[in-house]
Amino acid sequence: MALLRVEKMSHEFGGLRAVNNYSLEIEKGQIRGLIGPNGAGKTTIFNLITGIYKPTEGEIYLEGKKITGLPPNQIASHGLGRTFQNMQLWRHMSVLEHVKMARYSRITYGLFGAFFGTAKRQREEEEIEEMAYSLLKMVGIAHLAGQIILNLPYGAQRRVEIARALATEPKVLFLDEPTAGMNPEELIQMMEIVRKVHKNLGLAIFLIEHRLKVVMELCEIIQTLNFGQVIAEGTPEEIQNDPKVIDAYLGKGTVI
Amino acid sequence: MNEEYGKIIGITHSIKRKARSLFSEVPLLGWLFGMLIAVILERYVGEALAESLGLSKIPMLFGVVMMLKNPLMIPSTVLYLFTIFVLPISVVARLISGPANRVAAKLLDLPILISVIIHIGLLYAVLYLWSEASAYRVLTLKLTLIAVILTLSLNVVNGYMGEFSCSHPGFMALGAYAASVFTVVLFVDDKLFGHALLPAALAPFMFPIALIIGGIVAAFGALVIAIPSFRTRGDYLAIISLAFMFIVKSMIENLEVVGGPRGLSSQPDLASLPTVFIWTVACIWVTNNFVRSTMGKALNAVRDDEVAANAMTVNTRRTKITAFLFAAFWAGVAGGLFAHVLRYVNPGTFGLQKLAEVLAMVYFGGLNSVYGSIVGGVSLSMLGEALRPLEIFKWIIIPLLLILIMIYRPTGLVAFKEFNVGKLVMPKNKSDQRKSDGAASG
Ligand SMILES: Nc1ncnc2c1ncn2[C@@H]1O[C@H](COP(=O)(O)OP(=O)(O)OP(=O)(O)O)[C@@H](O)[C@H]1O
Ligand SMILES: [Mg+2]
């Protein structure tokens, strides 16, 4: 049984059919890629699976359980963690607080603990903090833990997003263009982080990328999307040589 | 001209730096002790000094009223303030800083709670001795403490959560009336509610229950607002909460059982200074606990990016409703205290003017900050009281001040600053700090 299965999902914005009859199967530990020209509907697919939008049609299953239509926070606690294309961080909070926050649904000290600062809360907050530190170490920004987001360079902010998503203990990690706007050096570092996270935590990764070099290197299977529709699916080699992909995507002058 | 200006700036800077280095090692304990000496001094020599300076009586609220009424009195008032407060506090604080640091360090060997209680006890002693000079000071102090509760609780919604709520006077009214009805029915022979049901001796023990009932009634009111307002995204809260405030006010005006527009009086005298003080401390403590926990930080996450908060497993709707009810609860408690301090309430009190006051305190003091709310609540209610002789001009000066703050510090005086009690009670010199290191990290 696939870890995450999407069946014939479609979505309309007003009259625009942004996603059409989309299906997906991700196995445990797999790295999958999703490519396609601007406006193809990639981010919309992420938003649909993670519950930000409700699909007009179709079903989504995580480990066989239907999660279609659940609110995003529940889907996230079921095991779908994500980052955002344009980074959605909390501008007044510190790096450490970001990562701790993603443990929200696992907090058991409750309002009583929050109001009265019980020993249980103290203990739990310390545990969360320890875990947050280990994740920050994994993505290489433990030394920035106390910094406010606004003071961080761009690359570090991207890493905060990944560490934060990891703190939700995802079974599938959704990365929406994690290398957008990065220089070649940062790009290589980011690829290393993705590999490391994948190896250390053994989770499945679903990756949206504009730069083909990245998807080709990281992913086992790649889907190509155009106008909300999958036009090709296969291994990097297959995708690279698929005339439809070349036509829809590469033909438009994108640099490989 | 420019050169001279530069020179003056240079001098003030160096004075500032000197003053800072002179007092940088004074711990909170030292300051509190200095204040204690000052208020004791005033108690024993205040009157004599005032007389010898040609003042009719000791200045009640730091002499602002005296100075405004009669500008000729400014020199003697300033001299009085300097002799009784500024000089003793700074000298004592400076002299005692060594031993105070050692005591502060020693205290931290014990559980931090003990150190905190001792600090709070000292603060209470200072306030008590200061206020004993007149009933006016007691009243002002109580109302100031209540203002701190109101400001802090509104800051949870408007600052920490970043929504704009206007219903605080409404919650206050609900709390005030609920608590008043409770105590009047139980302990007072009253025209409206008949004979007392319980002996008056029990009243002080039941007063906390009255306040909690007031808080709970206010929280129920908040639920009425929260359910429609937090269902969907969008800025409905400001409008719905404003409407709620007016509805509560006119509802009470039309409720003859509680006196209608004439108001409700004869509340028993239960809101003594220690009671109000303890409730204020409790509010600060609980709120500070809340906003520093990860659950409380969720408010910030919701404010800064709700979609991201949701995607990181935060139940944003529950978070918002909880915070809103929490804030309403404390506004209700504040209302209950308020009613029993004045021992009279009428619906007219809980209108737009009250709203403007509380909002001003929140935004003046600083958003997202417990410090800020204390500063805002204390400074604006003291200022409001002190500027009373100016009458109508008061309502020009205070808004002007607010506008200046909004221009130069758009988020308020001490916004986004954590209120870290552990740091606050720490010794302030290096060697004692090191000794007690780790003990104060809580
Ligand atoms: N909330 C929305 N309301 C209306 N239309 C939307 C909305 N979100 C996306 N769209 C439209 O849906 C289409 C797909 O958008 P989407 O953001 O999913 O593309 P994408 O593949 O992620 O593109 P990019 O590579 O630029 O990120 C676009 O035409 C976009 O304008
Ligand atoms: Mg996109």
Question: Residues 61-100, chain A: which have Cβ within 8 Å of B?
Answer: 71-73, 76-77, 82, 84, 88-93, 97, 100
Residue-range domain boundaries for chain B: 2-131, 135-423
CATH for A133: 3.40.50.300
Is residue A134 packed enough to be buried (19+ CB in 10 Å), middle (13-18) or exposed (0-12)? middle
Query: Using a CB-CB distance cutoff of 8 angstroms, which residues of chain B are in contact with residue A168?
Result: 312-313
Percent of chain B past pLDDT 90, that is, above it, reads: 57
Of A76, A84, A93, the CB nearest to B301: A93
* Residues A157 and A108 placed together within one structural domain of the fold: yes
Mean pLDDT of A24-37: 94
Higher-scoring residue by pLDDT: B438, B353 = B353
Contact of A108 with chain B, judged by CB distance below 8 Å, is answered with no
Phi, psi dihedrals of residue B175, rounded to the nearest 5°: -65, -45
Ligand 1 center from residue A43 Cα (angstroms): 7
* CB-based contacts of B244, cutoff 8 Å, min separation 6: B167, B170, B221, B224, B225
Atom number of ligand 1 nearest to Cα A40: 21
Q: Is there a contact between A135 and A100 (Cβ–Cβ < 8 Å)?
A: no
Determine the 3-state secondary structure of A254 from DSSP: coil
Q: Alpha helix locations (H) across chain A?
A: 42-49, 72-78, 95-101, 110-116, 119-138, 154-167, 184-201, 212-218, 236-241, 243-248
Query: Using a CB-CB distance cutoff of 8 angstroms, which residues of chain A are in contact with residue B305?
Result: 88-90
Query: Using a CB-CB distance cutoff of 8 angstroms, which residues of chain A are in contact with residue B322?
Result: 111
Higher-scoring residue by pLDDT: B57, B391 = B57
SS3 content of chain B, % helix, strand, coil (to 5): 75, 0, 20
Q: Is a pLDDT exceeding 90 seen at residue A32?
A: yes
| Residue B441 pLDDT grade (very low, low, confident, very high; cuts 50, 70, 90) | very low
- How would DSSP label each residue in B10-44? HHHHHHHHHHHHHHTT--HHHHHHHHHHHHHHHHH
Q: Which helix (H) or strand (E) holds B283?
A: helix B273-292
Task: State the Cα–Cα distance between residues B399 and B403, nearest whole angstrom.
Answer: 6
Per the domain annotation, does A15 fall within a domain?
yes
Query: Using a CB-CB distance cutoff of 8 angstroms, which residues of chain B are in contact with residue A167?
Result: 312
* Residues A68 and A101 placed together within one structural domain of the fold: no
Q: What is the pLDDT of residue B439?
A: 44
- Containing structural domain, residue A90: 79-185
Q: What is the pLDDT of residue B410?
A: 86
- How would DSSP label each residue in A17-85? EEEEEEEEEE-TT-EEEEE-STTSSHHHHHHHHTTSS--SEEEEEETTEE-TT--HHHHHHHTEEE--T
Distances (CA, A) of B313 to A71, A72, A90: 10, 7, 15
Q: Is a pLDDT exceeding 90 seen at residue A5?
A: yes
Q: What is the pLDDT of residue B440?
A: 42
Query: Closest approach of chain A CAs to the CA of B34, in angstroms?
Result: 31
Q: Is there a contact between B289 and A117 (Cβ–Cβ < 8 Å)?
A: yes
Ligand 2 center from residue A84 Cα (angstroms): 9
Query: Closest approach of chain A CAs to the CA of B270, in angstroms?
Result: 26
Is residue B390 packed enough to be buried (19+ CB in 10 Å), middle (13-18) or exposed (0-12)? middle
Q: Is a pLDDT exceeding 80 seen at residue B159?
A: yes
Of A91, A128, A164, the CB nearest to B294: A128
Atom number of ligand 1 nearest to Cα A225: 21
* Residues A83 and A68 placed together within one structural domain of the fold: no
Percent of chain B past pLDDT 70, that is, above it, reads: 96
DSSP A221: E
Q: Is a pLDDT exceeding 50 seen at residue B404?
A: yes
* Residues A167 and A218 placed together within one structural domain of the fold: no
Contact of B90 with chain A, judged by CB distance below 8 Å, is answered with no
Of A105, A114, A116, the CB nearest to B313: A105
Ligand 1: list residues with CB < 6 Å. A 13, 16, 18, 36, 38-44, 85
ipTM: 0.93
Q: Alpha helix locations (H) across B60-167?
A: 64-69, 74-81, 87-107, 112-131, 135-155
Nearest CA to A6 out of A30, A28, A22, A27 is that of: A22
* Residues A67 and A83 placed together within one structural domain of the fold: no
Q: Are A77 and B313 inside 8 Å of each other by CB?
A: yes
Distances (CA, A) of B302 to A62, B296, B305, B321: 26, 10, 5, 12
Of A73, A77, A93, the CB nearest to B297: A93
Q: What is the pLDDT of residue A207?
A: 95
Longest alpha-carbon distance in chain A: 64
CATH code matching the domain that covers B135-423, chosen among 1.10.1760, 1.10.405, 1.10.10, 1.10.3470? 1.10.3470
Q: For residue range A196-229, what is the model confidence (pLDDT) as tens digits?
A: 999 999 999 999 998 888 898 999 999 999 999 9
Mean pLDDT of B162-185: 95
Q: Into how many domains does chain A fold?
A: 3
The total of other beta-carbon atoms located within 10 Å of residue A204's CB is 22
Pairing relationship of beta strands A204-208 and A172-176 according to DSSP bridges: parallel
Low-confidence winner among A1-10, A44-53, A245-254 (lowest mean pLDDT): A245-254
Higher-scoring residue by pLDDT: A152, B5 = A152
Pairing relationship of beta strands A80-82 and A4-13 according to DSSP bridges: unpaired
Query: Closest approach of chain A CAs to the CA of B7, in angstroms?
Result: 35
Nearest CA to B390 out of B64, B80, B138 is that of: B64
Of A76, A101, A116, the CB nearest to B294: A101
Percent of chain A past pLDDT 90, that is, above it, reads: 81
CA nearest ligand 1 atom 2, residue: A13
Low-confidence winner among A70-79, B172-181, B253-262 (lowest mean pLDDT): B253-262
Per the domain annotation, does A87 fall within a domain?
yes
Q: Is there a contact between B426 and B436 (Cβ–Cβ < 8 Å)?
A: yes
Mean pLDDT of A147-169: 94
Task: State the Cα–Cα distance between residues B202 and B299, nearest whole angstrom.
Answer: 40
* Residues A86 and A181 placed together within one structural domain of the fold: yes
- Please give the model's pTM, rounded to 2 decimal places: 0.92
Q: What amino acid occupies position A233?
A: E
B317 to chain A: closest CA residue? A73
Task: State the Cα–Cα distance between residues B56 and A17, nearest whole angstrom.
Answer: 82
Q: What is the pLDDT of residue B233?
A: 59
Per the domain annotation, does A190 fall within a domain?
no
Q: Is a pLDDT exceeding 80 seen at residue A239?
A: yes
* Residues A171 and A112 placed together within one structural domain of the fold: yes
Quick one: CA torsion of A45, A46, A49, A53, rounded to 10 degrees?
-80
Mean pLDDT of B361-379: 94
Q: What is the pLDDT of residue A256?
A: 43
Ligand with minimal distance to A44 CA: 1
* Residues A97 and A60 placed together within one structural domain of the fold: no
Contact of A158 with chain B, judged by CB distance below 8 Å, is answered with no
Q: What amino acid occupies position A186?
A: E
Q: Are A168 and B313 inside 8 Å of each other by CB?
A: yes
Q: How are strands ordered across the β-sheet holding A229-234?
A: A80-82, A172-176, A204-208, A31-35, A221-226, A229-234
Atom number of ligand 1 nearest to Cα A37: 25
Q: Is a pLDDT exceeding 50 seen at residue B442?
A: no
Contact of B8 with chain A, judged by CB distance below 8 Å, is answered with no
* Residues A84 and A181 placed together within one structural domain of the fold: yes
Residue with tokens 């209680």: B117
Q: What is the pLDDT of residue B11?
A: 75
* Residues A175 and A225 placed together within one structural domain of the fold: no
